[in-house]
Structure 1
């Protein structure tokens, strides 16, 4: 895959949107235990990425946030790395 491959940003955006959906659902929409399991699974898989791929993901998330017109999604994109444990909380 090349650095300009559109697949990586598209997949990163989908992962972020899925986690955002899970976080925003009420207990009556999605079972809270299932939400926690899914979010822990996503975070765990991302942490298992080799360091160079994790760095690439972090750059893709930064790039997505910079061009995101929706302020709420931009904020979530910016907070996603620390929420998933990819970086230390600031």
Structure 2
């Protein structure tokens, strides 16, 4: 079992794992409507974060990407901040 340096890191990794799972599912594994609802819920959460919190999450995702040994998942983590609207001006 991994030991996390902080609760924020553990939760960020958990959220990244959920989003990684959703992205990898096909329609038979996960209902597309359910996937959209999940992703919209996460986007709503991101919009409620302060600028500092968004920066902290972006930094954590960048660190997670640097530490990732799977190149496909590493690229997913690198793209994740843009994909979830972390830097969206309307967020």
**TM-score class, shorter:** 0.7 to 0.9
Question: What is the aligned partner in structure 2 of residue 50 from structure 1?
Answer: 50
Q: Is the 1:12–1:60 contact (alpha carbons within 8 Å) kept by the matching residues of 2?
A: yes
Q: Which digits, 9 at most, give the CA deviation of each residue in 1:5-29, with x for residues without a partner? A: 4221221111011011111111111
**TM-score of the pair, normalised by structure 2:** 0.85
Give 5+ residue unaligned stretches, structure 2.
Answer: none
Point out 4+ residue stretches in structure 1 off by more than 3 angstroms: none
> Are the equivalent residues in 2 in contact too, given 1:65–1:74 (CA < 8 A)?
yes
Aligned pairs, how many? 85
- Segments of structure 1 that go 5 or more residues without pairing to the other structure are none
The residue aligned with 1:22 is 22
Correspondence for 1:31: 31
